[in-house]
Amino acid sequence: MHMTFEPSDRNHVLVACEGTRLACVGGTALLFVPGRESLFAASPLVADLWDRLQAGIPLGDVAAAARASGEDASQMLDDLLRAGIVEYIAPRDGPRDVAFRMQVDLGVIRVCVNFLGTGHFRPLRDMLAPLEAPDPRPGRQLLVIGAPHRVGIARNGGETDWVTWKEAAPALKMALTDMALAAVDTVALHAATLSRRDEALLLAGAPGAGKSTLAVALGAAGFRLDGDDVCSLQTDGRVRALPFPATVKQGAWAILAPHRPDVAGCPAFTRPDGQRVRYLALTRGTPEARRVRTVLCLDRTDRCPPRMTPLGVADAIATLLNGAWSTDRKLSPHAFDALMACVAGARFYRMTYRTLDDAMAMIDTAWPLMPRDRLAATG
């Protein structure tokens, strides 16, 4: 079908299909489309626009560039779409106007978040602002579709999951987390990551143990909060946090107010589990991969006095693997080597505590005393 440019289409956005490659050989520009195992000659205009097509370019800009070069924009677009070289940034039901775009750096992957339609997008933009990458480059595409009483989340070309606006931020964070986890090539650990002098402190434990609350408080008391939920394990045993905004549940808002007064001004959202949450931005910039100095397995209880108990190797491994995730849901030999490198280089403790003040006081006292070289452990 031959396509024509309509004024109402100018804010649609084109992007190169994933995996498509451009190479210039002997003055000839060639496009390889792996999905079709096909090779095409590219016009000078397509070659000039290729970098922008990889990141995503408004249809109106393509039309203007075609007019300037004397090419037939409609025919060019039709050819590119038919060949599977480009596609619209759109849900499965078809293209829509793109209001604005943000490329976010999640450490293990870059994702371009495309806001389509209309709606109160500001809280979502503010949540992602610390993750925004300074320079656009090819990445995965995620769509946020605004409607009067609901918002949709979709992968490019996929079905749309609709939620209310009060559920929008948790749904967006969940979608981005899924995309990031799929890009982890070893294993992802369910732990909050803090750092000081380029060494990492991991907070692990069962849901409800207070990881996020303690991580946020420590982040306001001398540690850098790199991520409150998930980190990827590197091949050398270091960890890199996924730098999503910290999730603060309603029960912790008042507890954290003395440490982070800004929590009261953050918009509240509702998670799928019914929990009301607020999101606190982390320090701007993608966290570095860091050597793990200490791992604390949190145990919040009123039945025991506050204390730290060293863990043996078996319990240390169990602490890291509890809630861990890999693409194939298995611990590969590659991931095992990374896990052992982390265990060999860190100290592990079970930290029993009653209150946030208990936990912070113990960590403040113990961190300078914790040896940088792990002692032999048993059990």
Predicted confidence (pLDDT) per residue in 228-246, tens digit: 999 999 999 999 999 999 9
Does position 5 have pLDDT exceeding 60, yes or no? no
Mean pLDDT of 78-101: 91
- pLDDT band for position 8 (50/70/90)? low
Query: In the block, which residue shows the tokens 């910039």?
Result: 285
Does position 24 have pLDDT exceeding 70, yes or no? yes
Can you give the pLDDT at residue 348? 96
Q: How many whole angstroms separate alpha carbon 256 and alpha carbon 124?
A: 22
Can you give the pLDDT at residue 371? 65
Q: What percent of the chain has pLDDT over 90?
A: 71
Note every long-range contact of 356-360, with CB atoms under 8 Å and residues 24 or more positions apart, other chains counting.
356/210, 356/213, 356/214, 356/217, 356/255, 358/306, 359/210, 359/214, 359/298, 359/306, 360/214, 360/217, 360/218, 360/221
Q: What percent of the chain has pLDDT over 70?
A: 96
Mean pLDDT of 163-169: 96
Does position 283 have pLDDT exceeding 80, yes or no? no
Q: For 117-126, 165-174, 356-365, which range has the lowest pLDDT when averaged over its residues?
A: 117-126
> What domains lie within the chain, and their CATH numbers?
7-88 (3.90.930.40), 98-182 (no CATH), 187-369 (3.90.228.20)
Does position 4 have pLDDT exceeding 60, yes or no? no
Can you give the pLDDT at residue 6? 52
Can you give the pLDDT at residue 152? 96
Q: How many whole angstroms separate alpha carbon 156 and alpha carbon 163?
A: 18
Can you give the pLDDT at residue 3? 44
Predicted confidence (pLDDT) per residue in 40-84, tens digit: 999 999 999 999 999 899 998 998 999 899 888 888 888 899 999
Closest CA to 144 of 118, 126, 166: 118
Can you give the pLDDT at residue 379? 36
Query: In the block, which residue shows the tokens 């590119």?
Result: 80
Q: For 130-139, 219-228, 347-356, which range has the lowest pLDDT when averaged over its residues?
A: 130-139
Element (H, E) at 351: strand 347-353
Does position 324 have pLDDT exceeding 90, yes or no? yes
Predicted confidence (pLDDT) per residue in 299-309, tens digit: 999 998 999 99
Query: For all residues of the chain together, what is the average pLDDT?
Result: 90
* DSSP strand pairing (276-280 vs 246-249): antiparallel
Element (H, E) at 126: helix 122-128
DSSP state of 325: B
Mean pLDDT of 350-376: 82
Single pTM value for the model:
0.88
- pLDDT band for position 142 (50/70/90)? very high
